[in-house]
Structure 1
């Protein structure tokens, strides 16, 4: 036999109200952040759902007066890292090299993802494609700094690292992003 499990406590009105308010105010931002990390709708939905389950379970640990978005982004980040560790060793799609044929032969797929279209429209297609080619940590630090506009301290809190690490990761990620965008723009000509 194993260790007896603690019975699940029935939901309290306070916990339910906290979760409902959190989902109403921050659900879309949390999903968008998860989408930018994962790059696909299904994983982003799963990640967002898991994050709000964690919020529900730990709602008492949230410190009023602090940033809820920073707190939930930290939860999303940790869940995403855990998932990446679980997937390690499984097949992961490689990023095509410079001369590799591109998916869809340069044509748009028949199924259109409205979020991807929005990001492409907002960021520009070369930037959206380049962002997708960054590693998860690089993409995360760029999204938090340049899209979500968090301070280095907030990013360090979310990512669980020092400000110096944030600065160096951001510097390397931006340099790589610049090279990828330049290459994508040259390919469009």
Structure 2
């Protein structure tokens, strides 16, 4: 192959490598950030949404980290309940007072507007959110009312929940970006070393 052909082949290979690296980076972030948020919530670290409302727990059959309820009725319970009703429906299925004095809202989905709406009215010491995607639907007007029936997609809103987990928690997003950058730094360094140690093709005279 001529030198021009070799150069064109190297350029194509370089572009394909860059495109592949970009796709891998995007896929890693799409998975890593939501997992970091959910893991932090499951570990009891209360990761905070940019609105200030914390994701306090994850309620799944294999990982229920919900805080314990209080023995007495908390004063803010009625106010939070009225706010949720005024918000119409953001997927909440239960509300209760915790032993730490915070009102916990159990929801099947984390729509992008739910936490900001709560953040406009309450602070992180008043309200916490528990993500429980497998909780059965709640019928506000009775189980026989078809108007309240939701499909699984409507009840859990996977796309909206992913958007909230991906872009709503600055600390986890920043940490994931940093970890990805550090990981790629090691990958690129190893790639350069491999290229430097590779035998160079002989040039015919």
Which of the five TM-score ranges fits, normalised by the shorter chain?
under 0.3
Structure holding more helix per residue: 1
TM-score, normalised to structure 1, is 0.23
TM-score normalised by L of structure 2: 0.22
Larger Rg: 2
Q: Pick the structure with more strand per residue.
A: 2
